[in-house]
Amino acid sequence: MSQSANITWHDHAVTKKERRERNKHHSYVLWFTGLSGSGKSTVANAVAKRLFEEQTNSYVLDGDNIRFGINKDLGFSDEDRKENIRRIGEVSKLFVDSGQVVLTAFISPFQEDRDRVRALLEDNEFIEVYIKCSIEACEARDPKGLYEKARKGIIKEFTGISSPYEEPAHPEIIVDTEKHSIEECVEQIVQYLKGKGYYIS
């Protein structure tokens, strides 16, 4: 429910359909979810590079451009994570409307929040990608040293340790970064996109 009264939705002079036709590709969200260190950013950026090389207009949303900017007022309580994902969902919808592919790399630990973003979009505009990696493997990687700090209690409410992570119930794609190389993970996603007609090169 909006807090603002007397607001009017403006239709755009250029439609989403026209933007897609100009771009020569569909616009949609590749929503990566998984534990910290599972490989969301690595795989999302590698897929974005591949799309860029294939003339697809895409953009990666991750902590760097969201938690340092639009969401810098939010922390890691369940409520703040929910609001984080809600705002990212709304921003993603704008990207889709602008005719671009958006790749989001957030833990997004709650099924309900991911489903709410799905519901904002049309059926063929949301692809949930579960970046699967066990907590043991993520902790062994510990690329930012955060698991060590979480185990020592220096970081509170850390996903997988002191805050929950709900595995996706119905993801379109499951990518296992323990079993497959980065290149294989990218190829799996590209093959999915090609198979479903998302990928036009």
Ligand X SMILES: Nc1ncnc2c1ncn2[C@@H]1O[C@H](COP(=O)(O)OP(=O)(O)O)[C@@H](O)[C@H]1O
Binding residue ranges:
34-41
d(CA 75, CA 125): 28
37-45, 49-57, 125-133, 180-188 -> range binding ligand PPS (CB under 6 A): 37-45
* Helical pair 111-120 and 78-97, crossing angle rounded to 10 deg: 20
Q: Per-residue string for binding with ligand X, 62-101, x by CB under 6 A?
A: ----------------------------------------
d(CA 162, CA 14): 47
Binding-site members for ATP are 34-41
Is 132 a residue that touches ligand PPS (CB under 6 A)?
Answer: no
Is 147 a residue that touches ligand PPS (CB under 6 A)?
Answer: no
Contact in structure between 124 and 152 (CB atoms under 8 Å) = no
d(CA 100, CA 109): 25
β-strands 173-176, 58-61 pairing: unpaired
Q: Does residue 2 carry a catalytic annotation?
A: no
Tokens of 110: 């709650």
d(CA 167, CA 128): 11
Provide the 8-state DSSP code for 127: E
Q: Give the type of residue at 42.
A: T
Catalytic residue, chosen from 58, 108, 162, 181, is 108
Is 57 a residue that touches ligand PPS (CB under 6 A)?
Answer: no
Q: Give the type of residue at 70.
A: I
Q: Per-residue string for binding with ligand X, 117-156, x by CB under 6 A?
A: ------------------------x-x-------------
Residues that bind ligand X (CB under 6 A): 34, 36-43, 105, 141, 143, 177, 180-182, 185
Give the catalytic positions in this structure. Answer: 108
Residues that bind ligand PPS (CB under 6 A): 36-37, 40-41, 63, 67, 76, 81, 84-85, 106-109, 144, 146, 155, 157-159, 163
